[in-house]
Amino acid sequence: MNVIPFQREEDRFLDTYRTHLFQDKKGQTAEDYGYIVAAFVKWLADRPMHEGRFRPDMISTVAVEMFLNRKRTVKDKVTGEEREEPYSVSSKNKMRAAVSHFCTWLMDQGLLDKNPARRVEIPPHPLMAPRILTDDQRLVLRTLVERQGDLRSQAIFALGYWAGCRVSDVSWLKISDTHLTIKSGWLRVGHKGGKQREIDLLNQARRPLYEYLQERLNDDRHQDSEFVFTSQRSGRLTEAGIHHWLRTLKEKATKGEWELIKNVTFHDLRHDFAHRCREAGWTLEEIAYYLGHITKQGAPAIQTTARYTQVSREQIKEKLKLL
């Protein structure tokens, strides 16, 4: 029986796997897989029946499922309070992929007969009604952006809130795809799936973007970048960078403001934009075109748009009053 004592970072067994890992995977993926596998091995060894020792034949489908279903402790950045919450579906998928890669390597080493991780099923997110922001949430978010004061933040927020852009639309927006003047403007967006579309901008979206670009012309940093939004480290502000920007913005809220907007994501701005379009009388086809919900044949993907704009209980409650 193959019994391998677990010795944290000094464990030669994990070191051997990491050597293979960094030959097979690259960059951040290799780093992430290495971290996840080390956590899995330690978690498995720490089970009472294993007495601090790791045995490859102890890996089972049930063990992998329980590892993925653990909860993590997170600290509220405003209140400082700690709470436990499950990992997201995307995080679970990455963890399963890492453990599966580890199991495949164990099989190649003759230490495991089959890959238990392949049998683990991760249910998708339950279909939930998209977020419709309340007037108070809209007030807090727009006030925070105004309070921030910089044109870059105003432009990023405006593209989500006033143009319904995806995070990828904003991150990959090129200067050559912006066509703005003092009085009008349109963009070519649609990095996701390579489905580009041309959209006209409301003044609330055009003005901050135009002013930001004018300011950027006088900034020597990243002048050679083809992208509209850059970061201190790169010539393009990544999707993760935009999520970080929003988290940083929300952290500047007061305690009362934080309670209102702590769970709002950048994608929620897109959902809310779709709802406001629907309330303004847009058809589903018009919303689908503007948001980029297009099928491979080029037709509006109404089913996707319908999920964005499905009614809420509160809306039905208000309509009951009209009977």
Q: 119, 144, 179 — which closes off a domain?
A: 119
Average pLDDT, the chain: 84
* Both tokens assigned to 303: 């089913």
Asked if 187 contacts 298 with a C-beta cutoff of 8 angstroms, the reply is: no
Residue 171 falls inside a structural domain: yes
Residues 166 and 37 reside in one and the same domain: no
Residue 315 falls inside a structural domain: yes
Range among 6-10, 235-239, 303-307 with highest mean pLDDT value: 235-239
Residues 167 and 210 reside in one and the same domain: yes
Q: What percent of the chain has pLDDT over 90?
A: 48
Average of per-residue pLDDT across 164-192: 91
| Residue 101: pLDDT over 90 | yes
Average of per-residue pLDDT across 34-44: 92
Residue 126 falls inside a structural domain: no
Q: Given phi > 0 = left and psi -120 to 50 = alpha, else beta, which region is 30?
A: alpha
Residues 149 and 226 reside in one and the same domain: yes
Residues 68 and 161 reside in one and the same domain: no
- pLDDT (0 to 100) of residue 213: 94
* Both tokens assigned to 16: 């051997």
Residues 115 and 180 reside in one and the same domain: no
- pLDDT (0 to 100) of residue 59: 93
Average of per-residue pLDDT across 88-102: 91
Rounded CA separation 282/257 (Å): 31
- How many structural domains comprise the chain? 2
Residue 142 falls inside a structural domain: yes
| Residue 48: pLDDT over 80 | yes
Task: Read off the CATH number of the domain in which 145 is found.
Answer: 1.10.443.10
Q: 58, 93, 119 — which closes off a domain?
A: 119
The total of other beta-carbon atoms located within 10 Å of residue 176's CB is 10
Question: Residues 212-269: pLDDT tens digits?
Answer: 999 988 877 767 889 999 988 888 999 999 999 999 999 999 999 999 999 899 999 9
| Residue 275: pLDDT over 80 | yes
Residues 147 and 60 reside in one and the same domain: no
| Residue 311: pLDDT over 60 | no
Residues 98 and 166 reside in one and the same domain: no
Residues 281 and 174 reside in one and the same domain: yes
Residue 124 falls inside a structural domain: no
Run of H or E including 83: strand 82-86
Provide CB contacts within 8 A for 297, sequence distance 6+: none
Q: 68, 88, 119 — which closes off a domain?
A: 119
Asked if 117 contacts 96 with a C-beta cutoff of 8 angstroms, the reply is: yes
Residue 127 falls inside a structural domain: no
Q: What percent of the chain has pLDDT over 70?
A: 82
Confidence of residue 9 (pLDDT cuts 50, 70, 90): very low
Average of per-residue pLDDT across 4-25: 71
Q: Which residue has the higher pLDDT, 233 or 7?
A: 233
Residues 114 and 150 reside in one and the same domain: no
Residues 172 and 54 reside in one and the same domain: no
Say which range, 191-200, 240-249, 295-304, has the weakest mean pLDDT.
295-304
Asked if 26 contacts 34 with a C-beta cutoff of 8 angstroms, the reply is: no
| Residue 313: pLDDT over 50 | yes
Residue 130 falls inside a structural domain: no
| Residue 14: pLDDT over 60 | yes
Provide CB contacts within 8 A for 148, sequence distance 6+: 154, 249, 252
Asked if 310 contacts 302 with a C-beta cutoff of 8 angstroms, the reply is: no
Confidence of residue 6 (pLDDT cuts 50, 70, 90): very low
Residue 125 falls inside a structural domain: no
Residues 158 and 293 reside in one and the same domain: yes
| Residue 98: pLDDT over 60 | yes
DSSP 192: G
| Residue 176: pLDDT over 70 | yes
Nearest to 48 by CA among 58, 60, 34, 37: 58
Rounded CA separation 291/160 (Å): 11
Host domain of residue 42: 4-119
| Residue 194: pLDDT over 90 | no
Handedness of CA 202, 182, 145, 245 (dihedral sign): positive
Rounded CA separation 284/277 (Å): 9
| Residue 3: pLDDT over 60 | no
| Residue 283: pLDDT over 70 | yes
Residues 105 and 202 reside in one and the same domain: no
- pLDDT (0 to 100) of residue 312: 57
* Both tokens assigned to 236: 């393009």
